[in-house]
A and B are shown apart, each in its own frame.
Chain A
Amino acid sequence: MQTYDISEKGLRGLNSTLQAQRDATNQTSWQVVNPKGSHAIAVGLDAPIEVTVKGSTGYYCAGMNQQATIKVEGSVGPGVAENMMSGTVVIEGDASQYAGATGHGGLLVIKGNASSRCGISMKGIDIVVHGNIGHMSAFMAQAGNLVVCGDAGDALGDSLYEARLFVRGSVKSLGADCVEKEMRPEHIEILKDLLERAGADAKPEEFKRYGSARKLYNFDVDNAAAY
């Protein structure tokens, strides 16, 4: 286990050290202490290493992640795991706005609540939130799965493309072109796998599925008011 103290050695050194790790590294386990809400902790990693951040972080933690497993033992500020490509990011606390935005792949697990715009423009990432999510979540989401064990805020899935949204609790309101859809056996399978991987104690059968009505894909003058 390697330990990196941000208050002693600085943030820039942390990211350059972690980014320099390669597939064949024998330093696979890292612990980051004294994050003190700093921004951009453990960003741009591209190696199958495990990084544990001991405390809460600021903006853009674990952004652009590839391969790495990053765990935050605290809460995270806006834009956690933004544009993640692969790997796993686990947040023990809450996440601020636009968690997992534009993510292409990998798994983001938030054990607390996520605030507004969770999964905005997601492009293939899987996001599992144990708690609730805020308004405008999955706005223009294109691919991937967003699983919410609690409740969703206003305008869920507004202008949604092909991402799948699963919510166990209530949805305050659905955004334009987002509708409830039938939960078929293949969706139960997807959900079962995601809940297991995210360590979420919930049954797939308790969830409802939401997706795109596909009415806003091409301009139709009759839909003008919905844009």
Chain B
Amino acid sequence: MCGIVGLFLKDKTLEPQLGSMLTDMLITMTDRGPDSAGIAIYGGTEDKAKLTVQSDNPDTDFADLDCDLGRVIDAEVTMRPNDTHAVLSLDATKVDQARQAIRELRPGMRVMSDGDVIEIYKEVGLPKDVAARFDLSSMSGTHGIGHTRMATESAVTTEGAHPFNTGADQCLVHNGSLSNHNSLRRKLKREGVRVESMNDTEVGAAYLTWKMQNGATLGEALESSLEDLDGFFTFVVGTKDGFGVVRDPIACKPAVMAETDQYVAFGSEYRALVNLPGIEEARVWEPEPATVYFWSH
């Protein structure tokens, strides 16, 4: 069992409240996932790319990281630390070089996400504690996805927490369990796709990345996941300008959607949506099995 929440704002005046609305939804889903929590938030109109990095030793790893990285990639890097995470802003053409440099400069650090607008924050602990340490409720943005994890397929670690970055400005969260993740991990490894942990969802995320690297659109990659992934899943994917939802054909993992003139919201349960403005008048429905849905700006 895990909990998923998602919020896509149509009404720009709500953007400053995105973080607080999502945090409330996330904490409501604590019963479904008390082990770890994470959020992908899309916001800002920076002309630079953003790399969100994480370290178990932020004091040492983040010390002079912007200067060190800037020197190696020969570009200006600005850093905004936030607890165990930091957002690095740099020229979009330098992202691949920066990823490589980070591996050498700070081997203990992990890249959580890259893209123009995405930031991913995730840690082990109760959703309310994770939300507090990153001050998620103060964040603004256009849309975001959150996840509360009850671990089944791999250990309770930061790497095993969701969301998973699947490509620039893309991420995946998952409720369910994939049963063919070991064979798929081996297959992806042969294809040269790097999977860091023993987590099933990371394999699902790597699968989508691999499909898209081979020319598929995100929609096509999600369609083919219905064929190639065995197990239970409700996936929510974040994209630069929106989000998508797909459930496996059996669809035993719950999903509720709500739409008003102001937003489209996703929750594993209706409980997660009850404090949203105008929810009483919202169109509330359950996404169909084996059907890919997308909302975008």
Contact = CB atoms under 8 A, between A and B. Distances in A.
Interface residues of B, number: 18
A66 interface: no
A96 B286 contact: yes
A59 B256 CA distance: 12
Nearest to A55: B280
Given A78-B254, A96-B254, A97-B252, A134 B289 contact: yes
B72 interface: no
A57 B249 CA distance: 25
Interface string B263-293: 0000001111110000010001110110000
B29 to A, nearest CB: 11
B251 interface: yes
Interface string A72-96: 0001011000000000000001101
Contacts of A173: none
B285 A94 contact: yes
Contact of A37 (B250, B252, B274, B285): B274
A94 B286 contact: yes
B interface: dominant SS: loop
Interface string A1-41: 00000000000000000000000000000000000111000
A196 B161 CA distance: 52
B236 to A, nearest CB: 18
Interface residues of A, number: 19
B274 A97 contact: no
B289 A116 contact: yes
A119 interface: no
Nearest to A35: B274
Contacts of B272: 37
A97 B251 contact: yes
Contacts of A135: 249, 251, 289
Contacts of B289: 116, 134-135
A37 B251 contact: no
Nearest to A98: B252
A8 to B, nearest CB: 16
Contacts of A96: 254, 256, 286
A115 B289 CA distance: 10
Given A77-B254, A78-B254, A97-B251, A37 B273 contact: yes
A56 interface: yes
A97 B286 CA distance: 10
Contacts of A93: 284
A134 B272 CA distance: 23
Interface string A34-65: 00111000000000000000011111000000
Contacts of B251: 97, 115-116, 134-135
B269 A37 contact: yes
Contacts of A58: 269-271
Contacts of A97: 251-252, 254
B231 to A, nearest CB: 17
Contacts of B284: 56, 75, 93-94
A37 B270 contact: yes
B269 A77 contact: yes
Interface of A: 36-38, 55-59, 75, 77-78, 93-94, 96-97, 115-116, 134-135
5 contacts: A37-B273, A55-B280, A77-B270, A116-B252, A135-B289
Interface of B: 249-252, 254, 256, 269-274, 280, 284-286, 288-289
Given A37-B269, A57-B270, A97-B254, 15 more contacts: A37-B271, A55-B280, A58-B270, A59-B269, A77-B254, A77-B256, A77-B270, A94-B284, A94-B286, A96-B254, A96-B286, A115-B286, A116-B251, A134-B251, A134-B289
Shortest 4 CB-CB distances between A and B: which pairs? A37-B271, A37-B270, A36-B274, A115-B286
